[in-house]
Amino acid sequence: MWKAFDEVTEGVKGPTGGKLNMIDFGQQWSKQMGFPLVTIKSFNSSAVKISQERYMLNPRASTLQKYRSPSYGSEVGYFTTKDKIVLRSCIADQPLYLDVDQTVPIAINVDRRGYFRQNYDSAGWQKIIAQFENNHE
């Protein structure tokens, strides 16, 4: 089935901006439950930590042991008001550390090509809100 999807999605861009590989993409979604939540937190004055875990509407809900460790591989596109979009791989249980200017907001998945939810720490949300209030473009 995924091979057939791969044939009809010729020319469709995937999360990395290249051709969408439906075989890899589909198996990742059909062989495990849920979908990823990518979280961005300030790590220190010059870096952020990007981590990935299974998204759950109720984070306190119990999960059967066999479903606790999904392995998502997401390409995270990020930009700041000073940088253009850069793609980096983010894998579950392997945080990604990015050196960025902490005085400006960082945003991920702005072109909506990544198949994940995203969240920021409170400082990150405040920077994004301030950016929208000052200059939404």
Give yes or no for residue 40 having a pLDDT over 60: yes
Q: Is pTM, for the whole model, over 0.85?
A: no
Give yes or no for residue 113 having a pLDDT over 90: no
Torsion of CA 103, 109, 112, 117, to 10 degrees: -110
Distance CA 88, CA 78 (A): 8
DSSP H helices in 11-121: 22-30
Distance CA 130, CA 44 (A): 20
All domains of the chain, ordered by start, with CATH? 1-31 (no CATH), 35-134 (2.60.40.1910)
16-26 tens-digit pLDDT: 677 777 777 67
Predicted pLDDT of residue 76: 64
